[in-house]
Structure 1
Amino acid sequence: MGIWVEEIREMIEKIQSNVEEVKKKHSDILSAPQPDEKTKQDLDDMMTDIKKTANRVRAKLKVIEQSIESDEHVNKASADLRIKKTQHSTLSRKFVEVMTEYNRTQTDYRERCKGRIQRQLEISQCTGGV
């Protein structure tokens, strides 16, 4: 269990680090007049990595949860069980926080892209384009 806890913690930290990188890539893309394909590909790769890692974290948290449920039938008052529950709860909460931040980042990026497209449309309409 202890090894899993550390492994999950490291995966959550990896997701958190990738989310910060995604934010930077979003800013790079939005600030560039013509975003380069490498930046877009890097962004896609990071987002794929976040999804894969998140799925692994979910699976491991589920296994720990099932282990807790089976341990509860054997010994409800065990100190080890309380430790497992606390660790599971802490990891789950941290995972939810990181994924919520990732979703917020995605939503913010979408809104900023919409705003950019809207401004481009307004400019092209003012200059007689479209």
Structure 2
Amino acid sequence: MNIIFWSLFLQNAEASDEEEEGRALMIKPGTSSAKEEKESEAFFKKVQEIHVGLQSLRRMVSELENKQKTVLGEALPVESLKKELQTLRDEIKTMASHIQKKLKSVEPKKGEDDGKYIPINARMQRTQHGVLSKEFVELMGYCNTIQAQYRDRNVERIQRQLKITGSNVSDEELDSMLESGQTDVFTQNILIDAQATRQALNEIESRHDEILKLERSIRDLHDMFQYLAMEVEAQGEMVNRVENNIKLSSNYVEKAKDNTEKAVTYQQKARKVQLLLLVDHFVFMIRTFKVLQQQHMMMKSSDCAFLNFKPRL
């Protein structure tokens, strides 16, 4: 069933591709075998595992976003909350690495297109891999975006707290201080003459430590994201066509559903009309029968009168 669907679907998806002109999507005679069926089953099993992994990763990214908002809402986040945030980053990294390996295992081999004929399984696997890779890249891109925004918000908090301490630090100096990786650079040469200043310095150090952990997490995911982004870009046009066909198919299904509902309504109305016509016809037949019966009785009465008539002599 899956193979039939994809064969019809991908023919439409590739119809506008000039590079594919003259190439046929078909199963060559004699190529279907028990081995290929077993390989297809293994492929779809891995695809399902990737789907499950992407769902878990999406939940983790959503949880990461919520926890980051919680940390930003507190002047001095408790250590347990920061540990939970870091644990979640590590789990995202592990899950992303796991999904990347799964995607690599279902990646079509180079040279599977042997000239004019393209095996349907190869085309199907290439399309599945492209769609899943694009979904993964978009999810990781969103993850990087929210982490970058989180970093910027922490930097803003540091700048605000530095002003409270009376330290005039330019953006360039602040960037240099953040890149140095040393937390104590914020406290040296700053006089601590008030409790408010001490709290500001504590928040600066806390935010700086959080930024360092965040940047390590972003660096760890960067190479993975860059590789997959290049892969998706290489086959992005084909994937976009597939997604457009899916959307068009959904629209056709909705239209077909509406048309079916209208047809059912029209059919019900037609049945009512037929029933009314049948009743009218039946009433007409009864009335016609009564009229004919009356005429028959009248004719019979006139015949009897004629037979009983005796002329006077």
Match of 1:2 among 44, 53, 58: 44
3-state SS in 1 of match to 2:165: helix
Which residue of structure 1 lines up, in the alignment, with residue 109 of structure 2? 69
Unaligned runs of 5+ in 2: 1-42, 168-192, 202-313
Percent sequence identity over aligned pairs: 32
Unaligned runs of 5+ in 1: none
SS at match of 1:125: coil
Q: Aligned with 2:118: secondary structure?
A: coil
Q: CA deviation at 1:33?
A: 2.0
Question: 1:48: Cα distance to partner?
Answer: 0.5
Give the Cα separation in 1 of the matches to 2:129 and 2:106.
7
Residue in structure 1 matched with residue 121 of structure 2 by the alignment: 80
Give the TM-score, by structure 1 length: 0.88
Q: Is 1:20 matched up with 2:23?
A: no
Instruction: Give the alignment partner of residue 45 of structure 1, picking from 87, 92, 113.
Output: 87
**What's the counterpart of residue 181 of structure 2?**
none
- Helix, strand or coil: the match of 2:156? helix
Between the aligned partners of 2:128 and 2:136, the Cα distance in structure 1 is 12
CA distance in 1: counterparts of 2:146 and 2:90, whole angstroms: 15
**Bigger radius of gyration:** 2
Cα distance, 1:79 vs. partner?
Answer: 1.5
The one-letter code matched in structure 2 to 1:104 is T
Q: Which amino acid aligns with 2:139?
A: V
2:167 pairs with 1:103: no
1:35 corresponding residue in structure 2: 77
Please state how far the C-alpha of 1:92 moved relative to its aligned partner.
0.2
> 2:47 is paired with a residue of what secondary structure?
helix
List 4+ stretches of structure 1 deviating above 2 A. 73-76, 126-130
Q: 2: CA distance between counterparts of 1:101 and 1:73?
A: 34
> Residue 71 of structure 1 contacts residue 81 of structure 1 at CA under 8 Å; is this kept in 2?
no
Q: CA RMSD in A?
A: 2.2
2:55 counterpart letter in structure 1? E
Structure with more helix by fraction: 1
The aligned amino acid for 2:68 is H
Number of residue equivalences: 128
Q: Work out which of the residue numbers 54, 62, 67 in structure 1 matches 2:96.
A: 54
